[in-house]
Every structure is written in structure tokens, then in C-alpha cells.
Structure 1
Amino acid sequence: MLIIKATKVHIPVIARLFDLYRQFYECKPDIALAEQFISERIEKGESTIFLVEKDGKTLGFVQMYPSFCSVDAVKIYILYDLYVDDSGRSLGVSASLMDKAKSYAKAEGASRIDLMTAFSNKAGQHLYEKLGYKKVSEDFHNYSLQVEQGL
């Protein structure tokens, strides 16, 4: 198993997995949107994406965004996307990607990695807790505001 930091060359294979990831969260399939989104993140340097390859096949990816915590006055990473194709499940791909994300964040001087997952994603919750992530949802409420574009 090989973990690679994604570049422009990897956009098509990551886009395929990203589209499947979005479908997991009940979005309609849209490979063009997936490719555009991943392409923009890579080309603008707005995220860091690692992918796992084994026997020439891409099995999964993790995507993180750099950010900051003003309260603690530290650099952090937001781990927003983790997805492993069916063929890569039960092979340790998710844990390997999470370990790579952690080592990268540490090397970049970040103090922590934050993530959110759906209440229904029991497999993800189990993995995160097994890797030492702690639930902090009791401390804060999460809010979101849709901002209309093009007005």
C-alpha cells in the first residue's frame, strides 16, 4: 500500500472517489462537479489530499483544509473528507490515511485536527475513537448558514 500526496495528475481518480463519497452523504451523482471541485482545491492549493494506491488501483483518499483556532491561537487542520472504496475496506486503508493526515498536520506545525461526521456513520465514529479522537460536541453547538451566490 502506497500513500501519495495528490497532484493535478490524480484529479480524475480522486474525483471518482469524491463523487462516491458525496453519494454516501446522499448527494446525487455528479462526476463533473466532483472533478471541478477537486481540481480547484488542488490547483489553488486550498487543501491537502492524500490517496492510497495498491496494485495500481486507488482505494481511498483523505482531504484536509488548513485553518486556525483563534481561542487557542494555533494552526489546525479540518479533516473534511475520508472515503475508502468498497475494494479497500477491511485492509486498514482508513487508518493508514488518518495516520498520514496526523503526521502531515504535525509536520506542518498544527496543534490538532478537527472533524465532524454524521450521527449515522458508526463505522467512521468507531475508527476515529479507536485512533484517539475525542467527541467534543457537548462543548459547542454547530451552526451553518447558506449564503446565496450570484445575487
Structure 2
Amino acid sequence: MDIFQATMNELEEVAMLFDEYRQFYGIESDQSSAKAFLQLRMALRESVIFMAVENGRAVGFTQLYPTFSSIALQRAYILNDIYVKEDARGQGVGTALMQKVFQYCEQQSARYVTLQTATDNINARKLYENLHMKQDQYCNYVKYFD
């Protein structure tokens, strides 16, 4: 399996995975909007996308958004999206993507990488805990704007 940072050359494949990811969360398929969103993120360097390819087939991706730790005066990252195709799950793709994320964050001298997942997403939580990620002590609040 190859894990690498996606470029505009891989936009079509990543956009298909991104669209499937959004469908996993109950959003109706919209490949053109998914592609446009990712294309803009990539063009503006607002995100870092890693893609997993096995036997020439894209099987997963992850997307990081840069941020900063004001306390530590260092860069940090939000792992906003991670997705593995259903038929590739349980084969180490998620672990390999996460390890690539950790490696990248360390190379960037990041203070931390953070993510959120649903409390009932047991498989994802097991993955993160197996990779020695810890739940933090903060309460997260959100206000949605329509």
C-alpha cells in the first residue's frame, strides 16, 4: 500500500473518496461540489490530504487542516476527515493513514493533532486508542450557522 500527499493530479480520485465519505455521514452524493471544495482547499493550501492506494486503487484518504496552539506558540493540525472504503476496512488502511498523519505532523514541528468522532463510532475510537491518542479534558461546544 502506498500512502502519499495528494496533489491536483489525484483530485478526481480523492474527490470520489470524499464524496463517499460524505455519504457515509448521510449527505447526498454531489461529486462536483466535493471536487470543487477539495480543489479550492488544495489551491489555497488550506488542507493537507493523504491518500492510500493499494494495487492501483484509491482505498482511503485523510484531510488535515492547519491551525495553531496559542499556548505552545506552535502549529497544530485538525484531522477533520478520514475515510476507508468499506471493502478495504480491517486491512490496516486506517492505521497506515494515521501513522502518515503523525509522521507529517512531527515533521512540521506541530504541537498536536486533534480529531473528533462520534461516541458510537466504536471502530474509529478503537483505532485512535490503539494509536495512543487520548481523550482530552476539554468540553467541546459548537454553534451552527445555517
The TM-score with structure 2 as length reference comes to 0.94
Selected match of 2:140 from 137, 142, 150: 142
- Gaps of at least 5 residues in structure 2 are none
After superposition, give the CA deviation of every residue in 1:72-130 in whole Å (9 maximum; x if it has no partner): 33221111110001222121010000000000000011021111011121110000000
CA distance in 1, matches of 2:13, 2:76: 27
- Percentage of identical aligned residues: 37
2:64 corresponds to: 64
**Equivalent pair of 2:72/2:111 in contact (CA under 8 Å):** no
Aligned residues: 146
Please give the alpha-carbon distance, in whole angstroms, between the structure 1 residues aligned to 2:35 and 2:133.
Answer: 30
C-alpha distance in structure 2 between counterparts of 1:140 and 1:52, whole Å: 32
> What is residue 20 of structure 1 aligned with on the other side?
20
In structure 2, C-alpha distance between the alignment counterparts of 1:38 and 1:105, rounded to whole Å:
20
Matched ranges for 1:1-150 at <5 A: 1-136=1-136, 139-147=137-145
Aligned counterparts of 2:107 and 2:127: Cα–Cα separation in 1: 22
Q: Which amino acid aligns with 1:72?
A: A
RMSD (Å), alpha carbons: 1.2
Q: Structure 1 length as normaliser, TM-score?
A: 0.91
One-letter amino acid of the counterpart of residue 142, structure 2: S
The residue type equivalent to 1:111 in the other structure is R
1:85 is aligned with what amino acid? Answer: K
Q: Contact conserved, 2:49 with 2:62, CA < 8 A, in 1? A: yes
How far off is 1:24 after superposition?
Answer: 1.5
